[in-house]
Chain A
Amino acid sequence: MTEPLLEVDDIRLSFKGVRAIDGVSFHVDEGELFAIIGPNGAGKTSIFNTINQVYVPQEGDIRWRGESLMGKRPDHIATLGIARTFQNIELFPHMTVLDNLMLGRHTQMSAGWFAGGLWLGRAKKEELENRSKVEDIIDFLEIESWRKYPVALLPYGIQKRVELGRALAMEPKLLLLDEPVAGMNLEETEDMARFILDIREELGIAMLLVEHDMGLVMDIADRVMVLDFGQKIAEGPPAQVQRNPEVIKAYLGEDFGVVAAGDDETLEASATE
């Protein structure tokens, strides 16, 4: 049996008494699209943060190809090939789209302050080569017309795309996507779903997807894990998870079925009334 790419082994994380993750285990295989769903505050984002080691879980282990990630610095973990997007966009707002994507190439490049400062042949060559990779991604994500803009000026949906581009620029083996279509309209959601599927098909990158949009998850994920109050309540292929009575009770409730992104607004609207 081949070793899984990422293995999360019974991790626990709490913040001053708040149990964010309460003994969760799962694994992601090479090339797989693994989804985590669950209500707000279930601990999904916290799981991402432990994989990056931005938060260090108090108990449990996280392994990358069999090697423990615990205690490693986030920037070291990036060099292993784990890239990520954030739920609340974390682009570098004063840098242009191009520079954000080029920053994504940081671990793939090597020029230091000396070669870079003198624009030596090596540094120049490296800039050009990596620029060509970045232009590929810009073309793939259809954001050509934005490349020279500081990202703070871009519309929300485009920023989400740029953030995906920045993660892709790292040429990752595993891509962590935290609610990539949150707050998007139907058309933007469809575009993003298409990109995610293309990434899997053309590049074969394994993905860990956290998403609120049930419809999207059920459509594209290989396996789904359902999280509630920091605990795993179900795991399996989408069709199976969908039928799990516990899941229906704990998470889906009456809204069981396809929840389109557009419906969120009506839900919120009725909630505020």
Chain B
Amino acid sequence: MRGRPHLFTSYEGEQSLLPTWTQRVMLALFLVLLVTIPLQFVPGVQFLGSDSWLLVLNRVMIYAIGALGINILTGLAGQVSLGHAFFMGIGAYTAVVLGAPASDRFWGMGLPIWIWLPAAGIVAAIVGIIVAPTAVRVRGLYLAIVTLGLVFIGEHLFRNLTFITGGAGLGRDWPELAFRFWKEEEPLIDFSSRGPWFGIEFSGAAKTYFFMLVLLILFTLWHKNLARTRIGRAFQSIRDRDIAAEVMGVADAKNKLRAFAISSFFAGVAGALLGALVGRLVPETWNLLLSVQFVAIILIGGAGTTAGTLLGSFFVVAIPRMVEDLTRMLSVQVRTDGPFAWLGDFIIADQGDFGLVSTVANGPGLSIFQTNLALYGFLIIIFLIFEPLGLFGVWIRIRNYWKGWPFSY
């Protein structure tokens, strides 16, 4: 037998999620940072620990779970779906029927979270499996249109099934985030109201934050592992070249169906969590705009990558809040004639003068809500044209720049 000096054998280490020590240390530090945000002692990010920002972060994490789901379907398997909001709705209403108490107007079973949360994912996945055979027959734009149809059907159903959803414009109360063994009065762990944990007083938002963080880590690991093993590769091969994938032994319809089911599971869980976080949602929540936000997340973040999906979620959910903070700050500057008043004059249009954004109702210019929409659209276009790899691509470029420093160009 000939000698094989180049045969690579040390792949066992390479196959761990974080092959190098630098990566491990960086991630550990980042995790510590995340865990300590509600404690507000890391300088620079203390503001994130305020209750109002924690609420934003909680929403970011819920969206991230949903976005990891659509990334499996669109980013990995290449099937563009606008139906994500529909599956989130299915999950949310599964949760409310199983978890909320019954009343004379609404269905409810008052079951504990360890039933309603997984069930939300499972029921959404089953609905995904039911619609997938129709959806996987078409591709590209046609698939987007078929799944768009799902959202409209869903909206109609959700508006009319008032005994489940509470009806248009009204909605109903979701079960709270608390762990009970069964239906006992006092929950074992309460994730949503103020109280001490291990002797430290935490707000409800902070407790919810920890709960979401644990869930998000679990879903991220699942996503990452799926992407790098057999099924994840099969999804990617279908995305890249579906005929060649089949000739290599990848069953086309079966794997698309799988992608649909898994993606819907993530969506269902995210929908249930969103309901529980906000407490009360109207059926109109599960609309096209919500689906588009998820497509925006993976486009901005960088389709296919786990890190990009998480970054994109932060971006899309936190941007409205930042726009709000910024406009408020600028409008204060205008009123008090601060050093940035000139910028405020330019952007804010409160006093009937020229400006882009208005902070008062019915003012000239765009409302904050409209500004956000325009900003999403603008960012999606910018990323599609200049950085198809999204924020992830930007990050890679920054990293490569510093790796080569001082010889980078």
Contacts and interface: CB of A to CB of B under 8 A. Distances in A.
Nearest to B10: A135
A102 B8 CA distance: 15
B11 A90 contact: no
Interface string A106-119: 11011111011111
Interface stretch (A26-34, A123-131, A184-192, A214-222): A123-131
A31 to B, nearest CB: 21
B240 A116 contact: no
Contacts of B223: 117
B248 A103 contact: yes
A139 B244 contact: no
A107 B252 CA distance: 13
A103 B232 CA distance: 10
B97 to A, nearest CB: 26
A103 B234 contact: yes
A78 B251 CA distance: 10
Nearest to A105: B230
Interface residues of A, number: 49
Interface residues of B, number: 37
Interface in B229-243: 229-234, 236-237, 239-241, 243
A116 B230 contact: yes
Q: Which of A78, A116, A127, A170 has the most CB of B within 10 A?
A: A116
Given A102-B233, A117-B222, A135-B7, A92 B247 contact: no
A128 B15 contact: yes
Contact of A119 (B8, B225, B240, B304): B225
A123 B229 contact: yes
A110 B248 CA distance: 15
B229 A92 contact: no
Contacts of A147: 8
A138 interface: yes
Interface in B199-251: 221-223, 225-226, 229-234, 236-237, 239-241, 243-251
B258 interface: yes
B15 A93 contact: no
A92 B241 contact: yes
A44 interface: no
A54 B7 contact: no
Nearest to A139: B7
Interface in A50-108: 52, 54, 73-75, 77-79, 83-84, 86, 90-95, 99, 102-104, 106-107
A127 B12 CA distance: 9
Contacts of B246: 54, 73-75, 78
A264 interface: no
A78 B244 contact: no
B230 A106 contact: yes
B124 to A, nearest CB: 15
Contact of B304 (A83, A84, A94, A107): A94
B19 to A, nearest CB: 11
Interface string B14-28: 010000000000000
Interface in B1-49: 4, 6-9, 11-12, 15
Nearest to A104: B248
Given A106-B230, A138-B8, A54 B240 contact: no
A136 interface: yes
B298 to A, nearest CB: 15
Contacts of A139: 4, 6-8
Contacts of A118: 222, 225
B262 interface: yes
Contacts of A95: 233, 236-237, 240
A144 interface: yes
A84 B231 contact: no
Contacts of B225: 116-119, 123
A95 B28 CA distance: 28
Nearest to B234: A106
B8 to A, nearest CB: 5
B8 A103 contact: no
Given A74-B247, A113-B258, A144 B6 contact: yes
Nearest to B246: A74
A111 B231 contact: yes
B129 to A, nearest CB: 13
A52 B236 CA distance: 21
Nearest to A126: B230
A90 B262 contact: no
Nearest to A167: B248
Given A84-B247, A92-B245, A135 B8 contact: yes
A73 B255 CA distance: 14
Interface of B: 4, 6-9, 11-12, 15, 221-223, 225-226, 229-234, 236-237, 239-241, 243-252, 258, 262, 304
8 contacts: A74-B243, A92-B244, A94-B236, A110-B230, A116-B230, A117-B222, A119-B221, A128-B15
Given A103-B237, A147-B8, 8 more contacts: A54-B243, A92-B236, A103-B234, A106-B234, A112-B231, A116-B226, A117-B225, A132-B11
Interface of A: 52, 54, 73-75, 77-79, 83-84, 86, 90-95, 99, 102-104, 106-107, 109-113, 115-119, 123-124, 126-128, 131-132, 135-136, 138-139, 142, 144, 147, 166, 170
Q: Which 10 A-B pairs have the closest CB atoms?
A: A116-B229, A78-B249, A92-B240, A107-B249, A90-B244, A74-B246, A117-B226, A139-B7, A119-B225, A117-B222
